[in-house]
Structure 1
Amino acid sequence: MLIHVLGSGAGGGFPQWNCNCHNCSRLRKGEFKGQARSQSSVAASTNGTDWVLFNTSPDILKQLQNFPAIQPGRGLRDTGIRSIVLIDSQIDHTTGLLMLREHHQPLEVYCTEPVYQDLTTGNPLFKVLDHYCTVNWHPIRLPREDAPGEAFQVEGLRLVPVPLRSEAPPYSPHRHNYHVGDTIGVLMEDLTTQKRLFYAPGLGQIENHVLSLMAEADCLLVDGTFWAEDEMEQAGISQKRAAEMGHLPQSGPGGMMSTMAPLTNPRKILIHINNTNPILDEESPERAQLEAAGIEVAFDGMNITL
């Protein structure tokens, strides 16, 4: 199984277009050891030709241009994209669907019922696409909130969805009113090699049923949005805390670092990095702490082979 990181940043990317925080301003001035990042999305394949997209960011066109393998060029109009899995209905994970409207067949989209509701009401992307390529919706089923949902197969992958405690988008009818399926994680398993990767760019908290799936994985590609719970406040940007925005910070008691510490088997990689996060600076003490803990930071164009 090959996982290609199309984008590794959080909403707005890095540097964010209107932000002059410590990280963004230094990157623009060339005073920063690190690299720019587009908004979070990954592609997975078991044969290198047929690909499943996990999220479609607003940066999708540039991301696809930077990844020739996803355009095999077998015909006048062609793509290696076979299916799309949406882990939530956030703008930075779904807006790219509009950029794929020229597709000559319906987009095969897998998502939960709450995400489908958001994308036909509060942010009706699916209804807009009805005037173009249209969408074939495949429901992701989550019978319980404290256990993995129904597994399904896509392009040689067995996908096990798991409900996550996180926040629905501001335009969702159930913002601040948790619904099972607002956000999911996905355990991807290559049906040939049985190698597994757990993908969850949005993790508000890690419950036991989520931790069990993480422990089964050969690789974790999980939420790296914030370093600290009060990071946005420290940066002078917002009073909102990480938990309010549905993200578990890396540092502190119960943070991502301490949660992953007992998991000795999987490779550990953070994705969905916010522009304020000090780990973007490769010379920062926070980045050194991650490296000492054996945790990597995803970057645009990163390939993970399992």
Structure 2
Amino acid sequence: MLGTAAGGGFPQWNCACALCDLSRRNPVRCTPRLQLQAVVSSGGRNVLLNAGPDLRVQIESTPKLQPQPERGRRNTPVDGIVLTSADLDQVLGLLLMREFQPLRVYATPLVHRVLTANSFFRMMERVPQQLTWITMLPNEPFELLPGVQCTALPMSDELPHYAKSFAEGAEPGQAVVGLVLASSEKKIVYTPAVGEVTDSLYQEYATADVIAVDGTFWSNDELQRAQPGTPLARQIGHVPISGEDGMMASMAGLEKPRRVFVHLNNTNPILDRESGERSAVLAGGWEIAEDGCLL
């Protein structure tokens, strides 16, 4: 995990809420976090899971993702990028990788169509074979890296606001996907945006070794309490951690997987190492991902 915060990072640049203020004053108690970013590695090759706005900083903080002089003046150990949605927080980093560097990008046909319709992303295709799009269809496994199979899980049909014009006639199950990453040693289910814990998703979790799960909000009305007039967590596609039908309660019966919360919003009290909410999460057998941690 190269970054574990939700959009805006933590502390958020324009926010002086109690948690952001505490993070600036006491970063040991409330550790700053970069925006969500993950990388999968196998056989010396690396694939990014999405491409967030903090990607350049994350690459420069991670030696295995940096170019190597012995490979020439221009090179990258990044073999490809898997996009789970067209959300700006997941794709803006692509524009940082426009330096005539050949890259492979895996995306559903719908996400591909949304991005290629935007003239910004044509900067990724200024020379032949600069960008190779690879179709990723829900529930169809493919080899992502040597020994690593990837399967996209349909999560939501909700497109980001800027792409609403693509909603009519859009293929179901392609707007937002989760990922199952499986090798002979480990199965990881990566789902940083969960609008509903369906029976099929629960079964994927139950057979996994590690699950990286939507931890955006502690409570459903968290944003409204921070700023009246804002939507509920469930209205914007996030099951909250707490509550009778929250994430922890929904998965209380899971026994096998290591359970890790990712994608933490700056309003989430579990960011505070001394909060009761954080203690409840840890006591419930869950982990809270930190930037740089391994899944």
2:87 maps to: 90
1:207 maps to: 198
- Identical positions, percent: 36
2:111 maps to: 115
Partner of 1:181, secondary structure, is: coil
Cα distance in structure 1, aligned partners of 2:79 and 2:228: 39
Cα distance in structure 2, aligned partners of 1:65 and 1:212: 37
Cα distance in structure 1, aligned partners of 2:200 and 2:131: 31
1:69 to 43, 64, 68: 64
1:188 to 159, 181, 188: 181
Q: How many angstroms does 1:125 deviate by?
A: 4.4
1:126 maps to: 121
2:5 to 4, 9, 12: 9
The superposition leaves residues 12-39 of structure 1 with CA deviations (integer Å, 9 ceiling, x where unpaired) of: 0001100111111111122771211111
The CA RMSD over aligned residues, in Å, is 1.9
2:134 is the alignment partner of 1:138: yes
Contact 2:100-2:126 within 8 A present in 1 as well: no
The superposition leaves residues 230-284 of structure 1 with CA deviations (integer Å, 9 ceiling, x where unpaired) of: 1001112642011111111001122111122111100000111000000000110
Instruction: Give the 4+ runs in structure 1 shifted more than 4 A.
Output: 174-178
Partner of 1:214, secondary structure, is: helix
The one-letter code of the counterpart of 2:159 is A
Normalising by structure 2, we get a TM-score of: 0.92
The one-letter code of the counterpart of 2:6 is A
1:227 to 185, 193, 218: 218
2:75 is the alignment partner of 1:78: yes
2:46 is the alignment partner of 1:56: no
2:25 is the alignment partner of 1:34: no
Partner of 2:161, secondary structure, is: coil
Normalising by structure 1, we get a TM-score of: 0.89
The one-letter code of the counterpart of 1:163 is P
- Indicate how the Cα distance of structure 1 residues 217 and 29 shifts in structure 2: closer, same or farther if over 3 A, else same: same
Contact 1:166-1:245 within 8 A present in 2 as well: no
The one-letter code of the counterpart of 2:179 is V
Partner of 1:172, secondary structure, is: helix
Cα distance in structure 2, aligned partners of 1:214 and 1:299: 21
Q: How many angstroms does 1:126 deviate by?
A: 3.2
Is the deviation greater in 132-141 or in 170-179?
A: 170-179
